[in-house]
Amino acid sequence: MGKRKNLSEFDKGQIVMARRLGQSISKTAALVGCSRSAVVSIDQKWSKEGTVVNRRQDHGWPRLIDARGERRLARVVRSNRRATVAQIAQEVNAGSDRKMSEYTVHHSLLHMGLHNQSGCPC
């Protein structure tokens, strides 16, 4: 059995409140839709530390493209809807001192929700 996604802050709050209101571990897990061990872990963190903050928020490499870059990328895509990722990357990199790979452009487009409706990304 693999790991699941991290619980949202809302889900963690639901777990804490359900446990404070006297719900059992099993009923709380069913309510939130997570494992019993996750409920126990969140409940213990809350009892011990008074918070259930996720410490893994800033993991991985820093993002190469910021909000301004995303707006520029979206503008390039809107100007030519049929452009390939390679063409978009070339246009975005033109006149820029900070070059982005096609991989970065592709994943930025997916992150922004800009993908082909036929199921094939970009």
Q: How far, in Å, CA of 23 to CA of 115, rounded?
A: 43
- Express each pLDDT in 47-75 by its tens digit: 887 776 655 556 667 777 888 888 888 99
Indicate the domain borders of the chain: 9-49, 67-112
Q: What confidence tier does 1 reach under pLDDT thresholds 50, 70, 90?
A: very low
- Helix residue ranges per DSSP H, the chain: 9-20, 25-32, 36-49, 67-79, 85-93, 102-112
- What's the whole-number mean pLDDT along residues 94-111? 86
Torsion of CA 65, 67, 69, 71, to 10 degrees: 140
- What's the whole-number mean pLDDT along residues 13-27? 92
- Express each pLDDT in 72-88 by its tens digit: 889 999 998 889 999 99
For the chain, give the mean pLDDT. 83
